[in-house]
Chains A and B, each alone.
Chain A
Amino acid sequence: MPIQSINEFVVRFANVNGSGSASANQLFARCVMRMGVPVAPRNIFPSNIQGLPTWYEVRVSGEGHLGARGGTDLMVAMNPQTWNGDVAGIEPDGYLFYDSSRPMPKDKFRDDINVIGMPLTELCNARYKEPRLRQLFKNIIYVGALAALLDIELGVAEQLIGEQFKGKDKLIAPNVEALRAGHEYAKAHFACPLGIRLRRADNVGDRVFIEGNDAAALGAVYGGATVCAWYPITPSTSLAEAFMAQCKRLRTDKETGKTKVAIVQAEDELASIGMVIGAGWNGARAFTATSGPGVSLMQEFIGLSYFAEIPAVIFDVQRGGPSTGIPTRTQQADVLSAAYASHGDTKHVLLFPEDPFECFEFGALAFDLAERLQTTIFVMLDLDIGSNHHLSKPFKWDPARKYDRGKIMTAEELDAGKTFGRYLDVDGDGIPYRTLPATHPSRGAYFTRGTTKDRFARYSEEGPDYIENMERLLRKFETAKSLVPAPVETKSKRRTGLGVIYFGSTSPAMREAAELLRGDGVDLDLLRVRGFPFSGAVSDFIEEHERVLVVEQNRDGQLRQLLQVECGVDPARLTAILHYDGNPITARFIRAAIGAAVGVAARGRKEKVES
């Protein structure tokens, strides 16, 4: 019996990089969203511009599970190169949709799947003369056919095409025609709809559909960033580019056409972070966007920011490491290199957003924290959050919110005779006051250096001065605990001695896995960490549970190590659940791994069938 499921299935598109499939596939995902059904698309792409395989996985989930699920219910196989693997990856009783223009030998199929062959190339060759059009419209034609097969309302797709080509209206009609052609063909030749299909629902609500990098860039705009220096690197590039595009709209002076922002593509990451530090020293809110290799290059400067106490914001969109690693795949593998970046005794503040909503929130917050704490703040995205579209709560902004510019001593205060010591802990929170260059003609000037100094910023190699400064930096880090976003705890309905700690893009898969595991008889309390340094709530959570599983996407259990060291936990109490093949972690994986760790076998594959 072919898989039967309404609003709960996975469609996977296998394409060739550079064939123009991306926008057609995205159109498909948007159609699902517009029908009120939650959707989570994910790009799996190579480090290449043209010719290599790419996949686009669309998880449709009326129940709202937005993590990667794993497995494929409907394979749209458009890439002969990957045919064998693609066909093998289909769930038993699943569906295969392919271009049947060229006959395929029988042994290239499976007996336990349902095959839908459509002569796409033939249809296109008959309709279009130009090779480029044939390729482009082939994509739209298969979207039309899928609309028929999956019961997507054609009107929804047509409206989306209208919106997409707004301003280039000439393109609307041919795209709509191609869509309809595909739709008609499928209606005429196949039994539509399939066992898996959509039904209009109202489960999307007011959520927005956006990539995490775009959201983080918007956070930087709202957070008041005025200097951005960056160097291209996957998967962070689109963050800087989004910032540029948004500033064009939101930061251009209407009268003069001049910009209230300076964006520089630097010559490398050393220069990017150097510019950010120069700008931060001089009182502007500045950031860079990068990925692991960039963070490696920035190490010396990050130490300067820590020791000389200069605000800076780094968006680290993590990818698979080490070295060039697995550059177009996702990982959470920069946790330690960011937390302890640079030589000597250093520690840095990290924020861990789980989705675009938090990319925006933490993106803006990072600038307040950088100025409040006068140090580098890392916002730790990853490829999964950053370069995939996610359904996310709409962004919000409190109209009463004011930027926290931190402790800046003014000319008035200097004139009033207030003592200024750049590294003097006046308030007991470890955070000293700073003056900006040119504040006052004769007071408040000081020399910034990466070498040791006394409280009044005078060069000093005296041991006690050095130690006092280092101890104050620790007090400042203590203060940071109450300023970073608090962890979010989700308690199991039944009392349990099992706790799970996770962060970032693991969230949706973890939540889904916890539900599945409850069905398997495993109850879990969940703690989502959102910031480093860890607050007391994190050590309390570990304390309160007999056993804690730390779920993350890297080989070495980096969050687990950080918890061990910073919360002083016996390593035996923390079990590592690790996923690091470069694909986003799935609920199925977590369910199996936690099940195995606690000695409960998952009850086979649980079909979600809506009736």
Chain B
Amino acid sequence: MSYLAKPKFHHPAIEVNQLGFTHRDYEGAISTLCAGCGHDSISAAIIHACFELSIPPHRVAKMSGIGCSSKTPTYFLGQSHGFNTVHGRMPSVLTGANLANRDLIYLGVSGDGDSASIGIGQFVHAIRRGVNMVYIVENNGVYGLTKGQFSATADQGSKSKKGVANPDSPIDMVALAIQLGATYVGRSFSGDKSQLVPLIKGAFEHRGAAFIDCISPCVAFNNHAGSTKSFDYVRAHNAALNTLDVITGRAPITADYEPGETQTVKLHDGGMIRLRKLDATHDVTDRAAALAAIHRHQSQGEIVTGLLYADEDSGDLHDRLGTVDRPLNRLGDADLCPGVEALERVNAALR
């Protein structure tokens, strides 16, 4: 039951993608988040990336946990099935959904509380299993939905809105993801659309566990002086490694970068990411270099952003399990039931 989207008639002035969809077709319900919340900018970037990649919206399964960030799947891709699961457990639900149908595109959206605090175990294991997914943590360093408690990514010493300093050391989600074997790892900032959109596009094109840590200030509880995840702080301390451009296998677009300044990463489906290297020393295929860059910048008080690591020959959980090509949810009685004769043989062997 695979459906090609029907071409629609649109006013010529409205930009359409290869499927004939407009930007509108990728939108969802009106957001109920606080005005100015970083999460809404990430939703906009997801919409933009899906539009530009001409992803059929109904082929995406949107999964999330609980939190302001986890609410956002309602606000994009209205034609996709979505699943708002339980707090911190989106990774297992996404894994199960992926096992059932390997052909869909799985987008997991989570928060730093959801993924780094209550759900760190599930985050860790979904990544190390190599589930084919795009996993975005909308990282604001607080629990937005429960009104401003520290999450596990809050920097030590950073101050809550009430002025209390965080005593615990933070979890760096990108470093963790790289160590766990994620095969596409990037970090960005909700306010940097030009960096974030291509990063998300690259993640969609990647086959395997793609992880993006997106710093996303909470205007209600974490955008004040003393916070290290506020708009101002991040803008001032952002060290971008590279900017990238994603070129899909389906629609090669010519780019105009100087060859000396670019690094091309071939994606699994034939697409390519072209990285404009601002920091000429960073090689995205080098895991150790990625970790070193993260730590080096961290020690200088900088948040390193951009595509940190990519391994395009990774494969995914289904490859490791050796499951059939056809989605498991499409297998019918004849595929699954061994039948009467096989059962007779079983009986005979048990006497």
Query: A residues engaging B (CB < 8 A)?
Result: 206-210, 218, 221-222, 224, 226-227, 229, 250-251, 253, 256-264, 266-268, 270-284, 286, 300-301, 304, 394-397, 399, 402-403, 410-411, 435-442, 445-451, 459
Contacts and interface: CB of A to CB of B under 8 A. Distances in A.
Contact of A445 (B63, B80, B94, B335): B80
Interface string B75-110: 000111111111001011111111111011000000
B325 A448 contact: no
A445 B84 contact: no
B92 A226 contact: no
B281 interface: no
Contacts of B63: 278
A483 B329 CA distance: 24
B336 interface: yes
Contacts of A271: 89, 91-92, 95, 121-122, 125
Given A445-B81, A447-B84, A283 B101 contact: yes
A259 B322 contact: yes
B321 A411 contact: no
B119 to A, nearest CB: 10
A277 B96 contact: yes
Given A221-B338, A226-B328, A284 B99 contact: yes
A282 to B, nearest CB: 4
Contacts of A257: 322
A274 B81 contact: no
B58 A438 contact: yes
A275 B92 contact: yes
A441 B63 CA distance: 18
B interface bracket (residues with beta carbon within 8 Å of A): 35 or more
19 contacts: A206-B347, A208-B347, A259-B322, A260-B331, A266-B92, A270-B122, A272-B92, A273-B92, A274-B86, A281-B93, A282-B96, A282-B104, A286-B99, A394-B350, A395-B343, A441-B6, A445-B80, A448-B81, A450-B84
Given A301-B86, A437-B81, 13 more contacts: A260-B324, A262-B328, A273-B92, A278-B94, A278-B100, A280-B96, A286-B99, A304-B85, A435-B81, A437-B61, A438-B1, A439-B58, A441-B58
A270 B92 contact: yes
A438 B81 contact: yes
Interface in B1-53: 1-6
Contacts of B2: 438
Pick the most buried of B57, B122, B350: most chain A CB atoms within 10 A of its CB. B350
A161 B58 CA distance: 59
B351 interface: yes
Closest 3 CB pairs of A and B: A278-B96, A274-B92, A275-B96
B322 A279 contact: no
Given A262-B323, A437-B61, A226 B96 contact: no
Contacts of A450: 84-86
B221 to A, nearest CB: 22
A260 B73 contact: no
Given A206-B351, A262-B328, A227 B89 contact: no
Contacts of A259: 321-324
A363 B84 CA distance: 29
A260 B80 CA distance: 26
Contacts of B81: 435-438, 445-448
A438 B94 contact: no
Nearest to A457: B82
Nearest to B80: A445
A397 B328 CA distance: 23
B335 A411 contact: no
Contacts of A256: 324-325
Nearest to B92: A274
A86 B121 CA distance: 47
Contact of A258 (B3, B58, B78, B324): B324
B346 interface: yes
A436 B350 contact: no
